[in-house]
A and B are shown apart, each in its own frame.
Chain A
Amino acid sequence: MKPKYMVGLAVVGVALAYLIFGGLGQNLVYFITPSEYFQQAERYQNRAVRLGGLVKEGSLSYNPQTLELRFVVTDGVKEIPIRSSGTTPPALFGENRGVVVEGRFEGETFVSQNLLVKHSETYQAPKEGWTPEQVRKLIEETQ
């Protein structure tokens, strides 16, 4: 192959590699549970996170005027308050059900931008006294 082609290919290759690996690093979305958040709270500030857990019983409230939906996600040990303003149909939430919300932490509150739609055909409710690991497994399986 001629040298000028080699140079051209190298330029294209480097540009692509920069595009790909730079992009990958910036666009990773961590999937965590409330307990994992509190182990490394600093690490997850100001970046996209998927938070999985159960909607705590009695915590769900919707304000039709401000379109703000608030609820608490728990994994049985730790809890995190969630604020979601009008991005996902509040009707899709149910208490005591597994959810995965995508968004960012703003201080101690998690601001949700998106509820991941579950295409799951079977759903199993978590039981009393489950460990966070069991809850996590359940959430992952239902996802």
Chain B
Amino acid sequence: MGVGVTPGLLGGVALVVALILSVLGLVLATLAYTLRDGRYLEAAKRLSALSLLAAVVSFGALEWAILTNDFSVSYVANHSSANNPLWVKLVTPWAALEGSILLWAMLQTVYTWLVSLRAGHSLDVWRAPVALGTLFAVQVFFFAVMVFVAHPFDAVPNPPPDGRGTNPLLQNHWMMAVHPVLMYLGFVGLSVPFAYAVAAMEARRYQSWIFETRWWTLVAWGFLTAAIFTGKWWSYEILGWGGYWAWDPVENASIIPWLLATAFLHTAQVQERKGLFKGWNFAFVTLAFAATVFGTFLTRSGVIQSVHAFASGPVGAWFLLFLLGVMAVGLGLLARVSSEIREAGEVRWNSREGALLAGALFFGTFAFVVVLGTLWPLVVELVSGAKVSVGAPFFNQVSIPLGVFMLLLMGVGPVLPWRNSSAQVLRNLMAMLIALGVGTLLGLLLGLSVGVSLAIGLFAYNLTAIWLMVAQGVRERARALGISPAQALVELAGSHKRRFGSHIVHFGVALAALTIAFSQTYRVTEQKTLQVGEIWQTRGLEVRLLPLEVREEPNRFAAIAPIEVRSTSREGWGADGRYQARLNFYPQMGSPLATPVVKYSLYNDYYFVLMQFDQEKGQWATIKIIVTPMVWWLWVAGLIIVLGTLYILWPSGARATSRQMSPMAGD
């Protein structure tokens, strides 16, 4: 065939088509809103399905180009290699800037399409055109960025025989297939609550948006939570320093929208029940979406030094403009309607709504502090010209007191009744405070540090709170209906899914806080140079170095230090086994990548890193061992939080929707 369809051609055309469809969708949605004509809305809904199709074709074309090693496509030539294993090729679309924007845009079209299915149903005809128009506008931005500044399908005039390869750090662990996708699902998901908020403010319908928006936010929040935990795990397993969180700007970029979405999930409940906090809700939703754009701007523009370097380029300016646009639309509308949504009543701090607001304000403050710490280097550079970065100790200092307050509130909030407190509540609070005291004392008696003891106390305190609430409900129901407590528990868990789901999530958060306190306080590091065959006794471990190996693999070669580990005392319990700490050498990288091996056990984690080896004779290797308690439980906590979120979201039939509308929803 003379003129065949190449992946580059197909992908490029599909991108332009997607851009045109998004512009048309925006125009039609605007017409539907201004002319109040449902036919335009129907057409816009159809366009959202078509733009989804175009985006999927474009993304598929990129996969096609990568899988067939088509190095005439610039993205493939720059970021892929014929030698990459299949799974690396499949995930290469989001290994660099242009492809990750394409993934982002494609997910955006999915969310827009899902929203279009609600239009005319739960999303009424006054709000639907505005919500869809907002989402089309977001789509226009992403497709325009690709078509005009970050084109994944640029043609390479003289295609090289092989590409430059994929960033080694990204192909060194299978988490690359999971974490970025979850993160984008979360980031993009926050565009829907923003669109709903814009629609509610524009159509002046301040109450009806909250039910479904809470649901959408929870979906995005669940993805973000999963993304943050998998990111921690990834960085723990791959970076070789034994930690999982370093307050790097890229990590901050993921936590800021998470904090703001969390704030919204709490105040939204008050609006659902009592119609209060409308202004806060509009603000939190706007800021949460703006924070996703802000994070992308930070990490893609090169304004902030980060260890996660993404190539800096012209996209930074585009994202900054988009960020300003999002903030201007959201906050501008909020300013316009602020006089109409003024609160009717006053909030008591010692009620459920008071605690929820206080919690949300803490989350908001936390987000503000993280933004400030992340941007502070820019301020210093503008003022004094010095290049600085804000160290992790700053964030730790601030987040510890904020975290303690949040954990306290997390226990109290759900126990407090709406409006006013009563005698029963005081008894519950007393029990929780006793648990806090006993837990802390127990920690101190065991010789643990003050911080860790407090963490144990707070864990006991939250556990007590959840126990009291569940037990009280079960007891009342079992007595009233004359059924067994077990049956009452099952029935309650089925009929009060939001309530029980939030207990599960809160339990996960309390567990995560406990594991963070333990692992940050009691991490120990040992290292030594061992001769082959030498045995090293340390920390209850007996470590023997076996002969070094060098292994050729298609995309890299590896120096491997096999070690045999036996535990000799309780301190080293669970460490037994044979491990291969390695240094991976990638041709596109001048220096090797240390790849640690991690052995998890129920208490301690054993982390083995190959630091250096005898490159001439292979007679010695320097091994570092990091022993950290309870890290395994941090991953369990993350899983519990995600499962709790799923439990809340799991559809329970048509009854659930009608119940959500009633004032006693989900208690």
Chain A interface residues toward B at CB < 8 A: 5, 16, 19-20, 23-24, 26-32, 48, 50, 62, 64-65, 67, 86, 89-94, 97, 114, 116-123, 140-143
Contact = CB atoms under 8 A, between A and B. Distances in A.
A24 B394 contact: yes
5 contacts: A19-B398, A23-B398, A24-B372, A89-B594, A91-B591
A121 B167 contact: yes
Top-10 shortest CB links A-B: A27-B394, A64-B529, A31-B387, A121-B167, A27-B391, A90-B612, A89-B611, A23-B394, A28-B388, A89-B594
Contacts of B591: 91-94, 97
A118 B528 CA distance: 25
A64 B393 contact: no
A73 B133 CA distance: 55
A35 B363 CA distance: 43
Contacts of A92: 591-594
Contact of A116 (B307, B397, B611): B307
B229 to A, nearest CB: 20
A29 B389 contact: yes
A18 B589 CA distance: 44
A27 B369 CA distance: 14
A143 B307 contact: yes
Interface of B: 79, 96, 164, 166-167, 169, 239-241, 302, 305-309, 311-312, 349, 365, 369, 372-373, 376, 380, 386-391, 393-394, 397-398, 401, 527-529, 583, 588-594, 609-614, 620, 622, 624
Contact of B594 (A67, A91, A140): A91
Contacts of B393: 23, 26-27
Contacts of A123: 589-590
A92 B609 CA distance: 12
Contacts of B380: 28
A29 B612 contact: no
B590 A97 contact: yes
Contacts of B386: 30
Contacts of A91: 583, 591-592, 594, 610-613
B622 A64 contact: yes
Contact of B309 (A20, A26, A142): A142
Contacts of A97: 590-591
Max chain B Cβ within 10 angstroms of own Cβ: one of A86, A93, A97:
A86
A48 B311 contact: no
B95 to A, nearest CB: 8
A30 B527 CA distance: 29
Nearest to B305: A143
B612 A117 contact: no
A61 B50 CA distance: 61
B307 A121 contact: no
Given A67-B529, A91-B591, A91-B611, A117 B307 contact: yes
A29 B390 contact: yes
A143 B337 CA distance: 45
Nearest to A32: B387
B592 A20 contact: no
A86 B398 contact: no
Contact of A86 (B390, B401, B527): B527
Contacts of A31: 305, 387-389
Contacts of B614: 64
Given A86-B622, A123-B589, A141-B312, 13 more contacts: A23-B393, A30-B386, A31-B388, A64-B620, A86-B611, A89-B240, A90-B622, A91-B612, A93-B591, A121-B96, A121-B167, A122-B311, A143-B305
A24 B373 contact: yes
A32 B349 CA distance: 49
A141 B306 CA distance: 10
B611 A90 contact: yes
B401 A19 contact: yes
Contact of A23 (B365, B389, B397): B397
